[in-house]
Chains A and B, each alone.
Chain A
Amino acid sequence: MGRTIITNAIRFLLLVFIQVFLLKNITFYNLATPYFYILFILLLPFEIPNVLLFALSFIIGLTVDAFYDTPGLHAAACVVLALVRILFINITVQKEGFDNEPEPTLSIMGLRWFFAYASILTLAHHFFLLNLEVFRLSEIQYTLSSVILSSVFTVFLMLLSGFIFFKRKERK
Chain B
Amino acid sequence: MRNLLAFITKYNAFFLFLIFEVSALLIYIKYNSFQKATFINSQNQVTGSMFAQVSELKSYLHLKDVNDSLAAENAKLRGMVKSSFYVDTAEKHKVVDTVYKQQYTYVVARVINNSTNQSNNYITINRGSRDGIGKDMGVISGDGVVGMIAAVSDHYSVIKSLLHSKSQFSAMLSKDKSVGSFLWGTDLNPHKGLLSLQNDAKPVMGETVITSGYSLFPTGIPFGKITNLHAKEGGLLLNVEVGLSVDFAKLQYVYVVVNKYAPEQTGVEAVETK
Interface residues of A (CB under 8 A from B): 21, 24-25, 27, 30, 33, 50-51, 54-55, 57-58, 61-62, 65-73, 75-76, 78-80, 82-83, 86, 132-134, 142
- Residues from chain B with Cβ under 8 Å of A51 in the complex: 12, 16
Contact A65 B54, beta carbon cutoff 8 Å: no
- Residues from chain A with Cβ under 8 Å of B23 in the complex: 58
Contact A65 B40, beta carbon cutoff 8 Å: yes
Q: A50-B16, A51-B16, A83-B17 known; A27 and B117 CB under 8 Å?
A: yes
Contact A58 B24, beta carbon cutoff 8 Å: yes
CA distance A132 to B17 in the complex (A): 17
Contact B28 A21, beta carbon cutoff 8 Å: no
Lowest 10 CB-CB distances: which A-B pairs, in order? A72-B28, A72-B27, A76-B24, A27-B117, A71-B40, A75-B24, A71-B31, A79-B20, A83-B17, A69-B122
Interface presence of B42 (CB below 8 A):
yes
CA distance A30 to B187 in the complex (A): 9
Which residue in A30, A79, A133 is a CB contact (below 8 Å) of B24? A79
Contact A62 B119, beta carbon cutoff 8 Å: no
Q: A24-B115, A72-B24 known; A66 and B13 CB under 8 Å?
A: no
Query: Can you name 24 A-B pairs with beta carbons within 8 Å?
Result: A25-B115, A30-B117, A30-B189, A55-B20, A58-B20, A65-B41, A66-B41, A67-B47, A69-B42, A69-B122, A70-B118, A70-B120, A72-B24, A72-B26, A72-B27, A72-B29, A72-B30, A72-B32, A76-B24, A80-B17, A80-B21, A83-B17, A86-B13, A133-B119
Contact B42 A71, beta carbon cutoff 8 Å: no
CA distance A144 to B21 in the complex (A): 22
- Residues from chain A with Cβ under 8 Å of B115 in the complex: 24-25, 68-69
Interface presence of B44 (CB below 8 A):
yes
Interface presence of B99 (CB below 8 A):
no
Residue of A at shortest CB range from B37? A71
- Distance between A61 CB and nearest chain B CB, rounded to angstroms: 7
- Residues from chain A with Cβ under 8 Å of B29 in the complex: 72
Contact B28 A54, beta carbon cutoff 8 Å: no
Contact B16 A54, beta carbon cutoff 8 Å: yes
Interface residues of B (CB under 8 A from A): 12-14, 16-17, 19-21, 23-32, 37, 40-42, 44, 46-47, 51, 54, 113, 115-120, 122, 124, 158, 187-190, 249
Q: A72-B27, A133-B119 known; A79 and B21 CB under 8 Å?
A: yes
- Distance between B234 CB and nearest chain A CB, rounded to angstroms: 15
- Residues from chain B with Cβ under 8 Å of A72 in the complex: 24-32, 40
CA distance A65 to B44 in the complex (A): 12
Contact A30 B190, beta carbon cutoff 8 Å: yes
CA distance A90 to B187 in the complex (A): 40
- Residues from chain B with Cβ under 8 Å of A73 in the complex: 28
Contact A76 B25, beta carbon cutoff 8 Å: yes
CA distance A142 to B119 in the complex (A): 12
**A27, A57, A61, A69, most chain B CB atoms within 10 A:** A69
Contact B117 A54, beta carbon cutoff 8 Å: no
- Residues from chain B with Cβ under 8 Å of A68 in the complex: 115, 118
CA distance A86 to B119 in the complex (A): 31
- Residues from chain B with Cβ under 8 Å of A82 in the complex: 17, 20
Contact A62 B117, beta carbon cutoff 8 Å: no
Q: Name 17 extra pairs, CB < 8 A, besides A58-B20, A61-B24, A67-B113.
A: A27-B117, A33-B117, A50-B13, A50-B16, A54-B17, A55-B20, A62-B40, A66-B41, A66-B42, A68-B115, A69-B115, A71-B28, A78-B24, A79-B21, A86-B13, A133-B118, A133-B120
- Residues from chain B with Cβ under 8 Å of A80 in the complex: 17, 21
Contact B27 A66, beta carbon cutoff 8 Å: no
- Residues from chain B with Cβ under 8 Å of A24 in the complex: 115
**B20, B21, B188, most chain A CB atoms within 10 A:** B20
CA distance A41 to B32 in the complex (A): 25
- Residues from chain A with Cβ under 8 Å of B12 in the complex: 50-51
Which residue in B20, B44, B47, B188 is a CB contact (below 8 Å) of A30? B188
- Distance between A18 CB and nearest chain B CB, rounded to angstroms: 12
CA distance A74 to B158 in the complex (A): 19
- Residues from chain A with Cβ under 8 Å of B113 in the complex: 67
